[in-house]
Amino acid sequence: MGARGFVGFLLVVLMPGLADAADCIAVRHGEVSIVRDAGCDGLKLMSRAGDAPAANWIEFADPGNPAEWRYNDWIHRQAAARRTDRFAIESLYRSDRLISARYSFGSVNVDATRWTLFSPDDLVSLGAAANACWRQFSEQRGDGFAQAWPTERPWSDRDFEFRPVGNVMREIIGADVIDPQASTGRTRRVFIAVLRDQSRWSFSDSDAQIDFGKLLGRPSEPFYCTFVKADLQTIARPGAAIPP
């Protein structure tokens, strides 16, 4: 067992409170509640009062390990930075491997076995994920998507070995697509940037979801690529636990 695996093993042994994976948030008619499950101990719901736009989030009342501290630090910085924006929690999944929280402005995934942010390519083949997401969008949106986001060959994991140059994420964030010229190069750049970005992923006990933004510009609904457990297993790395 390598040093990384040994640290992960110790973390699982020393943190029995995270032994059970659980979806810890229920949202019904805009109301947020914490699911009182064995895997959801120690969470508290926070909200912002005063003149600032409404906000609600989850934090750990008494962080007991570096992963929980890292998550709390992240959400505290988000709350401080977004005082002029409304934001709300949409889901929170917790296991002995992962803390995955999705908010209205984006997601965060903290890898509890490494005490750092989760890397999606540790779990799945990003090449296989890219091919599956492109097929999902093509089937859901038809020829319009295939023409706007053409591809000439299947993706492979090798495509994801190097970071793309430049701020390509601006092509999919915001109301408009900034680079409107359809090309196989644009498709590849954007898919690679999204799938490499942990903040575009969110996990639950039943599936994984990847936010691709408004790929068709202002009139478009957001594009979400979703993998249920069975589909996630088909693109998972050998030996990877599903869900993480």
Q: Does position 112 have pLDDT exceeding 80, yes or no?
A: yes
Q: How confident is the model at residue 164 (pLDDT cuts 50, 70, 90)?
A: low
- Note the maximum CA span of the chain: 54
Query: Is 10 exposed, middle or buried (CB count within 10 Å of its CB: 0-12, 13-18, 19+)?
Result: exposed
pLDDT computed for residue 150 by the predictor: 95
For residue 167, what pLDDT band results from cuts at 50, 70 and 90? low
83: CB partners within 8 A, 6+ apart: 48, 52, 53
Q: What is the pLDDT of residue 86?
A: 85
Inter-residue contact 81 to 96 (CB < 8 Å): no
| Residue 122, pLDDT above cutoff 80 | yes
% of the chain beyond a pLDDT of 70: 84
Q: Give this prediction's pTM.
A: 0.85
The residue extents of the domains of the chain are 3-118, 121-235
Give 2's pLDDT tier (boundaries 50, 70, 90): very low
> CA angle 58-205-65, nearest 5°?
45
- Say whether pLDDT at 3 is over 80: no
Q: Which of 15-29, 86-100, 177-191 has the lowest mean pLDDT?
A: 15-29
Which pLDDT does position 178 carry in this prediction? Answer: 55
Other C-beta atoms closer than 10 Å to the C-beta of 99 total 24
**If you average pLDDT over residues 203-230, what whole number do you get?**
91
